[in-house]
Amino acid sequence: MSDTTIDTTTPRASTLQQARLPRWAPLGLAVAAVAAGVGIGTAAGMGNPFQMGLIAALLFVVLSYAVTAAVEGGRQAKNQLATSLVWLCFLIAVVPLLSLIWETVNRGKTVLDGYFLSHSMDGVQTILPGGGAYHAILGTLEQVGIATLIAAPIGLLTAIYLVEYGRGRLAKVVTFFVDVMTGIPSIVAGLFILSFWIIILGFGYSGFAGAMALAILMMPIVVRSTEEMLKLVPDELREASLALGVPKWRTILKVVLPTSIGGITTGVMLAVARIAGESAPIVLLVFGSQAINPSPFEGAQSSLPYYIYEQWQLGNEASFDRAWAAALVLIAFVMILNLVARGIARWKAPKTGR
Protein backbone atom coordinates (compact mmCIF):
# COMPACT_ATOMS: atom_id res chain seq x y z
CA MET A 1 0.00 0.00 0.00
CA SER A 2 2.90 2.31 0.63
CA ASP A 3 4.10 1.84 -2.95
CA THR A 4 1.03 3.47 -4.38
CA THR A 5 1.29 6.50 -2.14
CA ILE A 6 4.90 7.01 -3.15
CA ASP A 7 4.16 6.78 -6.85
CA THR A 8 1.25 9.15 -6.94
CA THR A 9 1.56 11.78 -4.27
CA THR A 10 5.25 12.35 -3.59
CA PRO A 11 7.15 13.04 -6.72
CA ARG A 12 10.54 13.68 -5.02
CA ALA A 13 10.80 10.24 -3.42
CA SER A 14 12.40 7.71 -5.74
CA THR A 15 10.94 4.24 -6.02
CA LEU A 16 14.14 2.89 -4.48
CA GLN A 17 13.25 4.36 -1.11
CA GLN A 18 10.35 3.32 1.04
CA ALA A 19 8.17 5.80 2.82
CA ARG A 20 9.81 6.81 6.08
CA LEU A 21 8.51 8.27 9.28
CA PRO A 22 10.12 11.61 10.09
CA ARG A 23 13.03 11.42 12.53
CA TRP A 24 11.13 13.11 15.32
CA ALA A 25 8.36 10.50 15.17
CA PRO A 26 9.54 8.25 18.05
CA LEU A 27 10.02 11.25 20.31
CA GLY A 28 6.63 12.63 19.41
CA LEU A 29 4.99 9.27 20.02
CA ALA A 30 6.75 8.97 23.37
CA VAL A 31 5.47 12.38 24.47
CA ALA A 32 1.98 11.49 23.31
CA ALA A 33 2.11 8.14 25.13
CA VAL A 34 3.29 9.70 28.39
CA ALA A 35 0.59 12.38 28.16
CA ALA A 36 -2.05 9.74 27.47
CA GLY A 37 -0.74 7.56 30.30
CA VAL A 38 -0.91 10.38 32.80
CA GLY A 39 -4.32 11.34 31.48
CA ILE A 40 -5.75 7.83 31.78
CA GLY A 41 -4.10 7.39 35.16
CA THR A 42 -5.60 10.52 36.65
CA ALA A 43 -8.96 9.79 35.05
CA ALA A 44 -9.00 6.33 36.64
CA GLY A 45 -7.85 7.80 39.95
CA MET A 46 -4.49 6.05 40.19
CA GLY A 47 -2.05 8.06 42.26
CA ASN A 48 0.81 5.70 41.57
CA PRO A 49 3.31 7.14 39.06
CA PHE A 50 4.62 3.64 38.39
CA GLN A 51 1.27 2.43 37.07
CA MET A 52 0.98 5.50 34.87
CA GLY A 53 4.46 4.83 33.54
CA LEU A 54 3.49 1.26 32.75
CA ILE A 55 0.40 2.40 30.83
CA ALA A 56 2.46 4.99 28.95
CA ALA A 57 5.11 2.41 28.06
CA LEU A 58 2.54 -0.09 26.77
CA LEU A 59 0.82 2.66 24.79
CA PHE A 60 4.13 3.67 23.25
CA VAL A 61 5.01 0.13 22.21
CA VAL A 62 1.60 -0.44 20.61
CA LEU A 63 1.37 3.02 19.02
CA SER A 64 4.83 2.99 17.50
CA TYR A 65 4.22 -0.50 16.13
CA ALA A 66 0.90 0.51 14.59
CA VAL A 67 2.17 3.75 13.10
CA THR A 68 5.28 2.14 11.64
CA ALA A 69 3.26 -0.75 10.25
CA ALA A 70 0.91 1.69 8.54
CA VAL A 71 3.62 3.88 7.03
CA GLU A 72 6.72 1.74 6.57
CA GLY A 73 5.39 -1.80 6.38
CA GLY A 74 5.60 -5.01 8.41
CA ARG A 75 9.33 -5.60 8.58
CA GLN A 76 10.10 -2.08 9.73
CA ALA A 77 7.29 -2.34 12.27
CA LYS A 78 8.81 -5.47 13.75
CA ASN A 79 12.12 -3.68 13.93
CA GLN A 80 10.46 -0.77 15.67
CA LEU A 81 8.76 -3.15 18.11
CA ALA A 82 12.08 -4.78 19.01
CA THR A 83 13.73 -1.40 19.47
CA SER A 84 11.06 -0.12 21.79
CA LEU A 85 11.04 -3.36 23.80
CA VAL A 86 14.81 -3.18 24.24
CA TRP A 87 14.56 0.42 25.43
CA LEU A 88 11.76 -0.62 27.75
CA CYS A 89 13.98 -3.34 29.28
CA PHE A 90 16.60 -0.74 30.01
CA LEU A 91 14.10 1.59 31.66
CA ILE A 92 12.66 -1.26 33.72
CA ALA A 93 16.12 -2.08 35.04
CA VAL A 94 16.83 1.50 36.05
CA VAL A 95 13.59 1.91 38.03
CA PRO A 96 14.45 -0.42 40.96
CA LEU A 97 17.98 0.96 41.25
CA LEU A 98 16.78 4.55 41.39
CA SER A 99 14.01 3.64 43.81
CA LEU A 100 16.40 1.73 46.07
CA ILE A 101 18.96 4.52 46.19
CA TRP A 102 16.26 7.16 46.63
CA GLU A 103 14.64 5.29 49.53
CA THR A 104 17.94 4.55 51.23
CA VAL A 105 19.24 8.10 51.02
CA ASN A 106 15.90 9.64 51.90
CA ARG A 107 15.14 7.51 54.91
CA GLY A 108 18.72 6.93 55.98
CA LYS A 109 19.68 10.56 56.30
CA THR A 110 17.15 11.21 59.07
CA VAL A 111 19.27 9.63 61.80
CA LEU A 112 22.66 9.51 60.13
CA ASP A 113 24.97 11.92 61.93
CA GLY A 114 28.19 11.98 63.94
CA TYR A 115 26.45 10.48 66.96
CA PHE A 116 25.21 7.52 64.93
CA LEU A 117 28.70 6.85 63.58
CA SER A 118 30.44 7.06 66.93
CA HIS A 119 28.13 5.21 69.34
CA SER A 120 27.06 1.61 69.80
CA MET A 121 23.68 0.15 70.75
CA ASP A 122 24.87 -0.75 74.25
CA GLY A 123 22.15 0.08 76.76
CA VAL A 124 19.90 1.72 74.19
CA GLN A 125 16.23 0.88 74.41
CA THR A 126 15.49 -0.54 71.01
CA ILE A 127 12.07 1.03 70.57
CA LEU A 128 13.42 4.51 71.23
CA PRO A 129 15.44 6.60 68.80
CA GLY A 130 19.14 6.91 69.56
CA GLY A 131 22.07 4.60 69.52
CA GLY A 132 24.41 4.05 66.64
CA ALA A 133 26.35 1.66 64.51
CA TYR A 134 29.95 2.25 65.59
CA HIS A 135 30.30 -1.32 66.86
CA ALA A 136 28.97 -2.63 63.56
CA ILE A 137 31.26 -0.46 61.44
CA LEU A 138 34.26 -1.53 63.52
CA GLY A 139 33.24 -5.19 63.19
CA THR A 140 32.82 -4.94 59.43
CA LEU A 141 36.22 -3.26 58.98
CA GLU A 142 38.00 -5.88 61.09
CA GLN A 143 36.28 -8.89 59.56
CA VAL A 144 36.75 -7.67 56.02
CA GLY A 145 40.37 -6.75 56.77
CA ILE A 146 41.19 -10.21 58.11
CA ALA A 147 39.36 -11.88 55.23
CA THR A 148 41.40 -9.83 52.77
CA LEU A 149 44.65 -10.75 54.52
CA ILE A 150 43.78 -14.44 54.15
CA ALA A 151 42.24 -14.41 50.70
CA ALA A 152 44.37 -11.92 48.77
CA PRO A 153 47.73 -13.79 49.01
CA ILE A 154 46.19 -17.19 48.28
CA GLY A 155 44.14 -15.79 45.43
CA LEU A 156 47.09 -13.89 43.99
CA LEU A 157 49.44 -16.90 44.12
CA THR A 158 46.81 -19.18 42.62
CA ALA A 159 46.32 -16.78 39.75
CA ILE A 160 50.09 -16.60 39.21
CA TYR A 161 50.20 -20.39 39.16
CA LEU A 162 47.40 -20.60 36.64
CA VAL A 163 48.82 -17.98 34.29
CA GLU A 164 52.59 -18.39 34.62
CA TYR A 165 53.07 -22.07 35.46
CA GLY A 166 49.79 -23.80 34.87
CA ARG A 167 49.95 -26.47 32.23
CA GLY A 168 48.31 -29.82 32.41
CA ARG A 169 45.59 -31.40 34.48
CA LEU A 170 46.07 -29.71 37.85
CA ALA A 171 45.72 -26.26 36.31
CA LYS A 172 42.56 -27.30 34.48
CA VAL A 173 41.03 -28.75 37.63
CA VAL A 174 41.92 -25.64 39.64
CA THR A 175 40.44 -23.36 36.95
CA PHE A 176 37.21 -25.32 36.94
CA PHE A 177 36.85 -25.35 40.69
CA VAL A 178 37.65 -21.66 41.00
CA ASP A 179 34.74 -21.07 38.66
CA VAL A 180 32.48 -23.36 40.63
CA MET A 181 33.63 -21.78 43.90
CA THR A 182 32.47 -18.38 42.62
CA GLY A 183 28.96 -19.77 42.76
CA ILE A 184 29.02 -21.11 46.32
CA PRO A 185 26.14 -19.52 48.23
CA SER A 186 27.46 -17.42 51.10
CA ILE A 187 25.32 -19.31 53.58
CA VAL A 188 27.06 -22.57 52.59
CA ALA A 189 30.48 -21.05 53.25
CA GLY A 190 29.12 -20.00 56.62
CA LEU A 191 27.83 -23.50 57.37
CA PHE A 192 31.20 -24.99 56.47
CA ILE A 193 33.09 -22.79 58.96
CA LEU A 194 30.33 -23.49 61.48
CA SER A 195 30.68 -27.25 61.21
CA PHE A 196 34.47 -27.21 61.03
CA TRP A 197 35.58 -24.39 63.30
CA ILE A 198 32.77 -24.06 65.83
CA ILE A 199 31.14 -27.48 66.11
CA ILE A 200 34.11 -29.79 65.55
CA LEU A 201 37.07 -27.70 66.75
CA GLY A 202 34.96 -26.11 69.49
CA PHE A 203 35.93 -22.45 69.08
CA GLY A 204 33.33 -19.84 69.97
CA TYR A 205 31.50 -17.39 67.78
CA SER A 206 33.90 -14.63 66.77
CA GLY A 207 34.69 -12.09 64.12
CA PHE A 208 37.55 -14.29 62.97
CA ALA A 209 35.21 -17.19 62.18
CA GLY A 210 33.14 -14.83 60.05
CA ALA A 211 36.28 -13.54 58.38
CA MET A 212 37.28 -17.07 57.35
CA ALA A 213 33.93 -17.60 55.66
CA LEU A 214 34.27 -14.24 53.92
CA ALA A 215 37.77 -15.26 52.78
CA ILE A 216 36.35 -18.38 51.14
CA LEU A 217 33.90 -16.20 49.25
CA MET A 218 36.60 -13.72 48.30
CA MET A 219 39.28 -16.11 47.02
CA PRO A 220 37.71 -17.10 43.69
CA ILE A 221 36.88 -13.47 42.87
CA VAL A 222 40.49 -12.43 43.45
CA VAL A 223 41.81 -15.37 41.39
CA ARG A 224 39.51 -14.57 38.48
CA SER A 225 40.29 -10.86 38.28
CA THR A 226 44.04 -11.29 38.86
CA GLU A 227 44.17 -13.96 36.18
CA GLU A 228 42.57 -11.59 33.69
CA MET A 229 45.07 -8.87 34.55
CA LEU A 230 48.12 -11.15 34.32
CA LYS A 231 46.98 -12.35 30.92
CA LEU A 232 46.98 -8.74 29.71
CA VAL A 233 50.72 -8.41 30.34
CA PRO A 234 52.36 -8.80 26.92
CA ASP A 235 54.56 -11.85 26.48
CA GLU A 236 57.28 -9.64 24.98
CA LEU A 237 57.95 -8.18 28.43
CA ARG A 238 58.39 -11.65 29.94
CA GLU A 239 60.55 -12.82 27.05
CA ALA A 240 62.77 -9.74 27.22
CA SER A 241 63.35 -10.27 30.91
CA LEU A 242 64.00 -14.02 30.57
CA ALA A 243 66.35 -13.39 27.65
CA LEU A 244 68.46 -11.19 29.92
CA GLY A 245 68.98 -14.20 32.17
CA VAL A 246 66.58 -13.14 34.90
CA PRO A 247 65.07 -16.16 36.63
CA LYS A 248 61.37 -16.72 36.16
CA TRP A 249 60.34 -15.89 39.71
CA ARG A 250 62.17 -12.57 39.57
CA THR A 251 60.59 -11.90 36.19
CA ILE A 252 57.18 -12.43 37.76
CA LEU A 253 57.94 -10.30 40.81
CA LYS A 254 59.79 -7.48 39.06
CA VAL A 255 58.19 -7.35 35.63
CA VAL A 256 54.81 -9.05 35.46
CA LEU A 257 53.36 -7.95 38.80
CA PRO A 258 54.41 -4.28 38.60
CA THR A 259 52.94 -4.07 35.12
CA SER A 260 49.59 -5.39 36.23
CA ILE A 261 49.48 -4.07 39.79
CA GLY A 262 46.81 -1.48 39.00
CA GLY A 263 44.39 -4.06 37.69
CA ILE A 264 45.14 -6.46 40.51
CA THR A 265 44.46 -3.76 43.11
CA THR A 266 41.18 -2.99 41.39
CA GLY A 267 40.20 -6.66 41.46
CA VAL A 268 40.99 -7.02 45.14
CA MET A 269 39.08 -3.86 46.01
CA LEU A 270 36.03 -5.00 44.05
CA ALA A 271 36.22 -8.31 45.90
CA VAL A 272 36.37 -6.43 49.21
CA ALA A 273 33.33 -4.41 48.19
CA ARG A 274 31.55 -7.63 47.34
CA ILE A 275 32.17 -9.39 50.67
CA ALA A 276 31.63 -6.29 52.80
CA GLY A 277 27.92 -6.63 52.14
CA GLU A 278 27.67 -10.33 52.97
CA SER A 279 25.42 -10.96 55.90
CA ALA A 280 24.57 -14.66 55.86
CA PRO A 281 27.91 -15.99 57.19
CA ILE A 282 27.93 -13.24 59.82
CA VAL A 283 24.56 -14.36 61.15
CA LEU A 284 25.90 -17.90 61.56
CA LEU A 285 29.40 -17.18 62.82
CA VAL A 286 29.73 -13.77 64.45
CA PHE A 287 26.39 -13.88 66.23
CA GLY A 288 25.89 -10.16 66.71
CA SER A 289 26.43 -7.94 69.70
CA GLN A 290 25.07 -4.67 71.01
CA ALA A 291 28.32 -3.43 72.52
CA ILE A 292 31.67 -2.48 71.08
CA ASN A 293 33.94 -5.51 70.91
CA PRO A 294 37.29 -4.47 69.47
CA SER A 295 38.72 -8.00 69.38
CA PRO A 296 37.84 -10.04 66.32
CA PHE A 297 39.27 -13.18 67.95
CA GLU A 298 37.20 -13.30 71.10
CA GLY A 299 33.50 -13.02 71.60
CA ALA A 300 30.62 -12.02 69.38
CA GLN A 301 30.93 -8.92 67.23
CA SER A 302 28.52 -7.11 65.01
CA SER A 303 28.81 -5.98 61.42
CA LEU A 304 26.96 -3.51 59.25
CA PRO A 305 24.92 -6.06 57.25
CA TYR A 306 24.09 -7.91 60.43
CA TYR A 307 23.12 -4.66 62.13
CA ILE A 308 20.68 -3.87 59.34
CA TYR A 309 19.08 -7.30 59.64
CA GLU A 310 18.88 -7.03 63.42
CA GLN A 311 17.33 -3.57 63.40
CA TRP A 312 14.85 -4.64 60.74
CA GLN A 313 13.81 -7.62 62.84
CA LEU A 314 13.06 -5.37 65.84
CA GLY A 315 10.23 -4.01 63.73
CA ASN A 316 9.58 -0.51 65.08
CA GLU A 317 9.97 2.90 63.49
CA ALA A 318 13.10 3.85 65.43
CA SER A 319 14.84 0.60 64.49
CA PHE A 320 13.76 0.94 60.84
CA ASP A 321 15.37 4.37 60.81
CA ARG A 322 18.58 2.93 62.18
CA ALA A 323 18.47 0.11 59.61
CA TRP A 324 18.12 2.59 56.75
CA ALA A 325 20.93 4.72 58.12
CA ALA A 326 23.22 1.68 58.37
CA ALA A 327 22.19 0.67 54.84
CA LEU A 328 23.19 4.12 53.65
CA VAL A 329 26.58 3.81 55.34
CA LEU A 330 27.09 0.34 53.84
CA ILE A 331 26.07 1.40 50.33
CA ALA A 332 28.30 4.47 50.55
CA PHE A 333 31.22 2.31 51.66
CA VAL A 334 30.70 -0.20 48.87
CA MET A 335 30.13 2.44 46.19
CA ILE A 336 33.22 4.43 47.22
CA LEU A 337 35.31 1.25 47.07
CA ASN A 338 33.87 0.58 43.60
CA LEU A 339 34.56 4.08 42.34
CA VAL A 340 38.10 4.20 43.73
CA ALA A 341 38.82 0.73 42.33
CA ARG A 342 37.65 1.72 38.87
CA GLY A 343 39.58 4.96 39.14
CA ILE A 344 42.76 3.02 39.87
CA ALA A 345 42.03 0.70 36.98
CA ARG A 346 41.79 3.62 34.59
CA TRP A 347 44.78 5.45 36.05
CA LYS A 348 47.12 2.45 36.11
CA ALA A 349 45.85 0.55 33.12
CA PRO A 350 48.63 -1.65 31.70
CA LYS A 351 50.12 0.00 28.66
CA THR A 352 49.88 -2.97 26.40
CA GLY A 353 49.27 -1.22 23.14
CA ARG A 354 46.55 -3.74 22.38
Partner 1 sequence: MKTDIEPTSTSAGSPPQVSARSTGRAGDKIFLGLSRGSGIALLVIMAAIAGFLAYRASIAISKDEANFLTAFEWSTGSTPMRFGIAVLAYGTVVSSIIAMVIAVPIAVGIALFISHYAPRRLATPVAYVIDLLAAVPSIVYGLWGALFLVPHLTPLYTWMDKYLGWTGVLSYQGGAARSLFTVGILLAIMILPIVTSVSREVFRQVPKMHEEAALALGATRWEVVRMSVLPFGRSGIISASMLGLGRALGETMAVATVLSPSYLINVSLLDPGGGTFAQNIASHFKEANDNGRDALIASGLVLFVITLLVNGAARMIIARRKEYSGTAA
With a CB cutoff of 8 Å and minimum separation 6, the contacts of 232 are 260, 263, 350, 352, 354
Of 58-66, 128-136, 176-184, 289-297, the window that binds partner 1 (rule: CB under 8 A) is: 176-184
With a CB cutoff of 8 Å and minimum separation 6, the contacts of 50 are 95
Work out how close the CB of 234 gets to partner 1 at its nearest, in angstroms, rounded to a whole number: 19
Residue from 78, 109, 231, 346 touching partner 1 (CB under 8 A): that is 78
Work out how close the CB of 34 gets to partner 1 at its nearest, in angstroms, rounded to a whole number: 20
Interaction of residue 171 with partner 1, rule CB under 8 A: yes
Residue from 19, 69, 124, 192 touching partner 1 (CB under 8 A): that is 192
Judged by CB under 8 A, the chain residues 294 through 333 that form the site for partner 1 are 305, 308-309, 312, 320, 323-324, 327, 330-331
Judged by CB under 8 A, the chain residues 118 through 147 that form the site for partner 1 are none
Judged by CB under 8 A, the chain residues 211 through 270 that form the site for partner 1 are 216, 219-220, 223, 245-250, 252
237 C-beta neighbours (distance < 10 Å), count: 16
Work out how close the CB of 335 gets to partner 1 at its nearest, in angstroms, rounded to a whole number: 7
Q: How far apart are CA 235 and CA 238, in angstroms?
A: 5
Work out how close the CB of 212 gets to partner 1 at its nearest, in angstroms, rounded to a whole number: 10
Q: What is the secondary structure of 81-115 as a DSSP string?
A: HHHHHHHHHHHHHHHHHHHHHHHHHHHHTTT-SHH
Work out how close the CB of 174 gets to partner 1 at its nearest, in angstroms, rounded to a whole number: 4
Judged by CB under 8 A, the chain residues 82 through 101 that form the site for partner 1 are 82-83, 85-90, 92-94, 96-97, 99-100
Size of the site for partner 1 (CB under 8 A): 93
Residue from 187, 255, 292, 344 touching partner 1 (CB under 8 A): that is 187
Beta bridge partners of 301: 287
157 C-beta neighbours (distance < 10 Å), count: 12
Of the pair 90, 347, the CB lying nearest partner 1 is at 90
Interaction of residue 279 with partner 1, rule CB under 8 A: yes
Residue 301 DSSP label: B
Work out how close the CB of 125 gets to partner 1 at its nearest, in angstroms, rounded to a whole number: 21
Residue from 33, 52, 136, 160 touching partner 1 (CB under 8 A): that is 160
Judged by CB under 8 A, the chain residues 13 through 52 that form the site for partner 1 are 48, 50
> Residue 97 class from Cβ within 10 Å (0-12 exposed, 13-18 middle, 19+ buried)?
exposed
Question: Count H helices, E strands: the chain?
Answer: 15, 0
Convert 332-348 to b/e letters by CB count within 10 Å (16 or more is b): ebbeebbeebeebbeeb
Helices 207-232, 169-182: inter-axial angle, 10-degree rounding: 120
16 backbone dihedrals φ, ψ, rounded to 5°: -70, -25
Of the pair 100, 117, the CB lying nearest partner 1 is at 100
Of the pair 87, 297, the CB lying nearest partner 1 is at 87
